[in-house]
Amino acid sequence: MRFVTAEKNGKQFIGIVNEELNQVIDVKVAEMKMNGTTTIPETMIEVIAQGEECLERVQEIELWVRENPDTDCIYPIEEMSLKAPIPRPRKNIFCVGKNYAEHVIEMGSAKDIPEHVVMFTKTPTTVVGPEETVLNHKHITEQLDYEGELAIVIGKTGRGIKESEAFDYVFGYTILNDITARDIQSRHKQFFLGKSLDTTCPMGPVLVHKSLIPDPSNLSVKTEVNGEVRQSGNTSQLIFPIETIISVISQGMTLEAGDIIATGTPSGVGKGFNPPRFLKGGDVIEITIDGLGTLRNKIEE
């Protein structure tokens, strides 16, 4: 299933995407029409937290809608405003740094390739959805940069997770753009401020359940700026794979349903060019990952 948080006529709802017909099903409205009652939660985090029970209900609803295609709970996707799948995370987004060797080298040298997972976070206020404008923050930065990444969404609570069991804790995957103010990042040494400017964590357009992504360790990751390919990598190049990331984070820290983990970015970021090619007002960034669609955002002019 491909989940979305969508908005129509000022009202947000949880939907599932029928990509064949380019439509969105409002699952809460559909359940009401199917059963006369509704049990589907209001938010994506609640859907995730309810686990398999909720997924089974959503599957039943989707099947019913397919058998009753004339019901008025199906909307053309172009009539929707898609939000980030989790518009306001409950806590900071976990981010893995230096997780593609070529990116490490373009930002420094081969000797900087890490022996252990490098972590930082972005605040919930950074999150915006597809097609939303990213503020240029030109009063404080001249070096806004893009980073296309695969993001993991955790499906259930766990601590001390073994690598062999890590995928049991995954709900699904989405696309994330870890937009970074490089000058602020450099000035403050720690990544937090340079990574946490408002609107600098676009996510979406969909949250794809893990059942539809059988091999997340072999997904192409492509970033284009104004139609020019800047990044072209594959998750097979991750220094620390998904199961290692989840296990390492969870050893002394509880992961919870709805937590988001960005897995790192391939080479080709703006700072890696000579001279650097930072984002400018009006630039359009499009990040495409196999099976997850394309996340598109524009920098404020």
pLDDT tens by residue, 14-44: 999 987 778 999 999 999 999 999 999 999 9
Q: Residue 124: which of 49, 199, 174 has the closest Cα?
A: 199
pLDDT number for residue 234 = 98
pLDDT number for residue 33 = 93
- Mean pLDDT value of segment 131-138: 98
Inform me whether the pLDDT recorded for 273 exceeds 80: yes
- Mean pLDDT value of segment 170-175: 98
- Mean pLDDT value of segment 252-273: 97
pLDDT number for residue 283 = 98
- Mean pLDDT value of segment 251-257: 97
In the predicted model, what is the mean pLDDT of the chain?
Answer: 96
Q: Residue 201: which of 173, 175, 228 has the closest Cα?
A: 175
Inform me whether the pLDDT recorded for 256 exceeds 80: yes
- The model's pLDDT over 181-220, given as tens digits with 9 standing for 90+, comes to 999 999 998 899 999 999 999 999 999 999 999 999 999 9
- Mean pLDDT value of segment 263-280: 97
Query: Any idea which residue has 């809608």 for tokens?
Result: 65
- The model's pLDDT over 78-133, given as tens digits with 9 standing for 90+, comes to 989 999 999 999 999 999 999 999 999 999 899 999 999 999 999 999 999 999 99
263 within 8 A of 213, measured Cβ to Cβ:
no
pLDDT number for residue 162 = 98
pLDDT number for residue 247 = 98
170/173 Cα distance (integer angstroms): 8
pLDDT number for residue 18 = 82
Q: What residues contact 175, with CB distance under 8 A and at least 6 apart?
A: 148, 149, 150, 151, 203, 204, 205, 287, 288, 289, 292, 293, 294, 295
